[in-house]
Amino acid sequence: MTATDESDGAPLLRVRGVTKRFGPVQALGGVDLDIPAGQVTALVGDNGAGKSVLIKCIAGIHVPDTGELTWQGERVRIRSPRDAAALGIQTVYQDLALCDNLDVVQNMFLGREHLRLGVLDEDRMERAAKNTLHSLGVTTVTSVRQAVGSLSGGQRQAVAIAKAVLWDSKLVIMDEPTAALGVQQTEAVLRLVERLADRGLGVLVVSHNMNDVFDVADRIAVLYLGRLAGVFTTGELTKETVVDLMTAGRSDRMGGSSRVKGIA
């Protein structure tokens, strides 16, 4: 197994030795993972491999039992989503956490509204929402004043991503961003993911869809039973070898030893 070499500089986020246990269940067993800026890293694994637990440890939902996180070269403690947001880490979960009865602007600024002389500065927020969507190349949302409940799945995903990058984000984590989307909507979201990396952001995408993973990811990190089976450039793998790593922690198709460290 040949893991990818990291760039000469420190990665945006470095995860070292992270463990997490829920009672008798060990969800993560010493995960090491680097997330560079300007690239899309796909996090894949079978159900129960620990993907959701890992991203929630990064996002501040869970506090790791052991291990450390280093952000832009400095060790940090992320104990809440507020801590993560303060660093520039935003997470777009599968349910998107949008309010259907509010419009696009209201959703993007929910809880962070701009005020002017004690009242909502609607013009400033509307301009910022439009500029953010425009900068990401989102053309399918024709009005930032339409209710989010009236948008398609792809449009809603675009709004959720735009909301995540609005606040000077440096790392955007996405949980199954194309789930339940049609072909055209999926294509639009994947191109949006690429644009985030092109802007220099780090992107961590959790996905079960191998077509999407191979389409958009620069690197693929595979979890197996709470441990990292490896991190590879996308060109090193095939869909078949990824499935092998996900389901057995190794792939004989790759040659050499490819068994997960610590798994007999």
For the chain, the structural domain boundaries read 1-88+171-264, 98-169
Q: Is the pLDDT of residue 197 over 60?
A: yes
Contacts of 194 (CB under 8 A, 6+ apart): 40, 216
Looking at every residue in the chain, the average pLDDT score rounds to: 91
| CATH dotted code for 1-88+171-264 | 3.40.50.300
pLDDT recorded at residue 10: 85
Q: Dump pLDDT digits (tens) for 125-134.
A: 999 999 999 9
What token pair was written down for 121?
């500065």
* 256: confidence class by pLDDT, cuts 50, 70, 90: very low
Does 153 or 259 have the greater pLDDT score? 153
Q: How many CB atoms lie within 10 A of CB 66?
A: 12
Which of residues 134 and 9 earns the better pLDDT score?
134
Q: What would the mean pLDDT of 207-223 be, rounded to a whole number?
A: 97
Q: Name residue, tokens 């989010």.
A: 148
Question: Per mean pLDDT, which range of 1-10, 16-25, 102-111, 135-144 is the poorest?
Answer: 1-10
Average pLDDT over residues 118-131: 95
pLDDT at 3: 42
pLDDT of residue 168: 84
Nearest to 108 by CA among 85, 140, 84, 130: 130
SS3 of residue 48 by DSSP: coil
Choose among 6, 59, 56, 2: nearest CA to 28. Answer: 56
DSSP 77: -
Please report, for residues 13, 82, 172, 201, 202, the alpha-carbon distance to residue 88 in angstroms, rounded to integers and kept in the order given. Answer: 11, 10, 8, 10, 10
Answer whether 250's CB lies under 8 Å from 261's CB: no
How would residue 255 be classed by pLDDT, with cut points 50, 70 and 90?
low
Of the pLDDT bands very low, low, confident and very high (cuts 50, 70, 90), residue 67 is very high
pLDDT at 141 over 60: yes
pLDDT digits (tens, 9 = 90+) for 73-112: 999 999 999 999 999 999 999 888 899 999 999 999 998 9
Q: pLDDT at position 18, please? A: 98
pLDDT at 1 over 90: no
User: What residues have CB less than 8 Å from 156, skipping those under 6 apart?
Assistant: 96, 98, 148
